[in-house]
Amino acid sequence: MACGSGRHLHWFSGRGCKVTGVDRDIENARQLSPIARLVQADIENGPWPLMNGANSAPELFDAIVVTNYLWRPLMDTLLASLAPGGVLLYETFAVGNETVGRPARPDFLLNAGELLHICRDLHIVAYENGFLDRPDRFVQRIAAIKNFTPGAHNDAPARYAL
């Protein structure tokens, strides 16, 4: 989501993943990832473009990756677009970033624990909230799985590489 130049599309498609990118401007992503499915849409001012037309539900994805982007009104749709067993990888700027640069507006900064709250119904695999240098920035990041049931398919616990 908000694929920008397509660097993550390029990385995942290079590892054999079928990828879909959404952004207002997809030309740079098209250059970097010519085999990606790209959807040009203004997700802040228009409807969610990835709908399953038959039942008006969002398309489902095995993984959703969001970096350096925050649009709170879309969070419920984003989670509804995650397939059962799907992985959400989300990293963006957090409160504190206003002390080191942009973005600085509260609308674009996650509050302490906000990703944990948003993902409260998912299985949290990893979560961080803090300061990173080079370049200086405050971030929150989460890796979470939808409908995680340990041992659902066999008696062995599920293994997720850390």
Using the predicted structure, report yes or no on whether residue 35 has a pLDDT greater than 70: yes
Kindly state whether residue 159 falls inside one of the protein's structural domains: no
- Note whether 139 and 89 are same-domain residues: yes
- Note whether 69 and 120 are same-domain residues: yes
- Note whether 27 and 68 are same-domain residues: no
Domain span holding position 116: 60-148
- Note whether 19 and 67 are same-domain residues: no
Q: What is the per-residue pLDDT across 68-78, written as a single tens digit (0 to 9) for each?
A: 999 999 999 99
Q: Which positions ≥6 away from 7 have C-beta within 8 Å?
A: 32
Residue 123: the pLDDT is 94
Categorize the per-residue pLDDT at 157 as very low, low, confident or very high, splitting at 50, 70 and 90. low
Using the predicted structure, report yes or no on whether residue 98 has a pLDDT greater than 60: yes
Q: What is the per-residue pLDDT across 44-65, written as a single tens digit (0 to 9) for each?
A: 999 999 998 767 889 999 999 9
- Note whether 86 and 32 are same-domain residues: no
d(CA 72, CA 56): 21
Using the predicted structure, report yes or no on whether residue 159 has a pLDDT greater than 90: no
Question: Do 86 and 17 touch, CB atoms closer than 8 A?
Answer: no
88 closest CA partner among 48, 44, 119, 49: 119
For position 110, which CATH number holds?
3.40.50.150
Kindly state whether residue 94 falls inside one of the protein's structural domains: yes
Largest Cα–Cα distance of the chain, in whole Å?
49
Kindly state whether residue 78 falls inside one of the protein's structural domains: yes
Q: Which amino acid is at 11?
A: W
- Note whether 31 and 89 are same-domain residues: no
- Note whether 67 and 89 are same-domain residues: yes
How do beta strands 37-40 and 20-23 pair?
parallel
- Note whether 22 and 71 are same-domain residues: no
d(CA 133, CA 17): 30
Residue 152: the pLDDT is 58
Average pLDDT score over residue span 99-124:
96
Q: What is the per-residue pLDDT across 137-151, written as a single tens digit (0 to 9) for each?
A: 999 999 999 987 665
- Note whether 87 and 125 are same-domain residues: yes
Categorize the per-residue pLDDT at 162 as very low, low, confident or very high, splitting at 50, 70 and 90. low
Q: Which positions ≥6 away from 76 have C-beta within 8 Å?
A: none
Kindly state whether residue 54 falls inside one of the protein's structural domains: no
Kindly state whether residue 32 falls inside one of the protein's structural domains: yes
Average pLDDT score over residue span 90-107:
96
The answer, yes or no, to whether the previous bond of 73 is cis (omega within 30 of 0) is no
d(CA 74, CA 47): 10
- Number of independent structural domains in the chain: 2
- Note whether 71 and 34 are same-domain residues: no
pTM score of the predicted model: 0.89
Kindly state whether residue 52 falls inside one of the protein's structural domains: no
Phi-psi region of 56 (alpha: psi -120 to 50; beta: other; left: phi over 0): left
